Amino acid sequence: METVYDRALLEIGQNGYFQKKFDMCYNFLFAILWGMAYANIFLALVIIPHRCQIPEKTENISDIDWKSKYIPISNDNTGKIVHSSCLMYENPPENNRTRDCDDYDYDRTWYESTVASTNNWVCKDELNIANILAISKISEAIGSLGFGWFGDAYGRRWTYILSLAFLVLGRIISIVFSSSFTFFAIGCALAWFPSWSVVQSATVISMEISSPERRSRTATLRSIANSSSMFIMPFLYWWLRDWKTFMVVTTVTQLPFLLYSWKMIESPRWLWIEGKSKACVRTLKIIAKGNKTNLGLDTEKDIMDNASQMNTRGTNTIGPLALFSGRRLAINTILQSYLWVSVAINYTILMMKSGQKSDGNPFLEFAWQSVVEVPGALFGAWLADRVGRRYAGLISYTLTVLLWMSIALYENGSGEWHLWWLVGTTLTILTRLATATSYYVIYLFNMELYPTCLRQSGMSLGNLLASGGGAIAPYLLYIGHHVDVKLPYLILAGFSVFGCLSFFLLPETLNMKLPETLKDAQEFGKNRRNYFSLIIKKYKAENNDTC
């Protein structure tokens, strides 16, 4: 036992009813509802199949011949011969000159409306969709770093409240002013400005009022909640069909949490480190009451007399630049930063690709990909605890490289291979599973490699770079739509190769004493040992003991 805070946590209970209730409320139920409000824009912005609006048929000819009379035929990005989605003949059948569509007919088999179909943001205006997502992600990148510093400087509770308010306000602006590209983009930027700070604040509080053994459990619960959110969301859209109704329903779920946000506790560990002794004791007593325990009088006196035994008062002035102080800490931060970028690109591409599926039900595709994140997170948790964080990430990223290469070959195929839609769906689902495993391990690394005084800044830097990666993703898909369908997947495979290298170079954190202070973080991983060899040695010793 190193600090008086650790002693206090043991006295009030580290795994009691309060912690379990907090996790179920904020790291599960709220995370599910928030996830839909955050990600609803991915489905709302889907570009559904379309073509130029042509006159109603007046001749006794087939529908194909009538369409061919007005719509030119060309090769798409896969080499198939299809009717153009964006051009029509200028004066059929007098000449073969083409022009842009005046209006469009949309395939409403699955989507009654999306933002793109409502505003005709297709063809020459399709770049509006990529620009909105990129603007949102850039805003998220800027906000995540700012809110990360804010969380370490002014507390997790206020970060949670302000982030939630930004999300609700931004979505309201986008819904009300949807016909204006400028206002719609401003609303999306505001909604994503706080990034994941809302749910991350709750996760950090949970981690800082619980035992170290709960770290993995909390991360797993969050991953399951995120997957559940993405699984429920497409079925909700499938039922509602209209994008505005869908966004209103998914956003209104945030209002009760916003109205009752004043009841959110502040992290007592943060209060203790900041020297806010009275507030720390009050919060510890709230937790003790929930757990039906008591905070010892001697411990309370020690907290009041000496709020921080780690000499970290005033660390809130360090700021995010401290993440790069010291050679080893800087290397750890840079390696994690690259992993956040690459996993975000992979994840965003998979989400957008599933929503735009045109050869089947896009909602089921989105749901199946989402539900596979649960076994992905569970597999990540199991693997990270068996072979260590580094090797778990290395395995998942190696699998991701192979799967992206396979998808590129599939998209470039022809004949029966290309028509076998099940192959494409299976490959995509497996890639989502590998990506979910990678995301879990990266998230766990991010929580374990930084001390309390920099934890939220470190996680927010990860969000910043993940947002930057997410901003690249829509342009990669745009290249796939207009240049070469397999090119994005080859680029993603290249990103993932460097992800393998980044995981290999990070220090192992499994069963290691984690950093508590900035100095600890600067030293962590300097004398790196091969943890895999330690596991093998431990396994042999256990077997010998058994014999």
Domain coordinates of the chain in residue numbers? 4-48+119-531, 50-106
Q: Would you state the pLDDT for residue 84?
A: 82
Q: Would you state the pLDDT for residue 374?
A: 80
- Which of 232-246, 257-271, 454-468: highest mean pLDDT? 232-246
DSSP 82: E
Q: Would you state the pLDDT for residue 213?
A: 73
Q: Which whole number is the average pLDDT over 42-55?
A: 88
Model pTM score: 0.73
What DSSP string runs through 112-172?
S--HHHHHT--GGGTHHHHHHHHHHHHHHHHHHHHHHHHHHHH-HHHHHHHHHHHHHHHHH
Confidence class for position 413, pLDDT limits 50, 70, 90? low
Map residue 81 onto helix, strand or coil.
Answer: strand
Q: Which of 53-57, 72-76, 266-270, 424-428 has the lowest mean pLDDT?
A: 72-76
The torsion angle over the Cα atoms of residues 267, 269, 271 and 276, rounded to 10 degrees, is 150
Q: What's the farthest any 2 CA atoms get from each other in the chain?
A: 96
Confidence class for position 416, pLDDT limits 50, 70, 90? very low
- Residue with the bigger pLDDT between 210 and 421: it is 210
Q: Would you state the pLDDT for residue 190?
A: 94
- Which of 77-81, 91-95, 106-110, 509-513: highest mean pLDDT? 106-110
Share of the chain above pLDDT 70, in %: 87
- At the second CATH level, the architecture of 4-48+119-531 is Up-down Bundle (1.20)
Give yes or no for residue 314 having a pLDDT over 60: no
Q: Which of 45-54, 164-173, 370-379 has the lowest mean pLDDT?
A: 370-379
Q: Mean pLDDT across the chain, nearest whole number?
A: 82
- Which of 122-131, 172-181, 340-349: highest mean pLDDT? 172-181
Give the residue ranges of DSSP H helices in 356-508. Answer: 362-371, 373-386, 389-411, 415-419, 421-448, 455-482, 487-505
Q: Which residues contact 162 (CB under 8 A, 6 or more apart)?
A: 147, 150, 194
Angle between helices 243-252 and 156-176 (to 10 degrees): 160
Could you tell me if 15 and 214 are in contact, meaning their C-beta atoms sit under 8 angstroms apart?
yes
Could you tell me if 382 and 509 are in contact, meaning their C-beta atoms sit under 8 angstroms apart?
no
Confidence class for position 78, pLDDT limits 50, 70, 90? low
How many Å apart are CA 544 and CA 10, to the nearest integer? 35
Q: pLDDT tens digits, residue range 424-449?
A: 678 888 888 899 899 888 888 877 88
- Which of 282-296, 352-366, 412-426, 511-525: highest mean pLDDT? 282-296
How many Å apart are CA 260 and CA 208, to the nearest integer? 22
H or E segment and range at residue 288:
helix 277-291
Query: Nearest-CA neighbor of 107 among 49, 47, 43?
Result: 49
DSSP 57: P
- Residue with the bigger pLDDT between 42 and 219: it is 42
Q: Which whole number is the average pLDDT over 182-196?
A: 91
Q: Which whole number is the average pLDDT over 164-175?
A: 95
Give yes or no for residue 119 having a pLDDT over 50: yes
Share of the chain above pLDDT 90, in %: 26
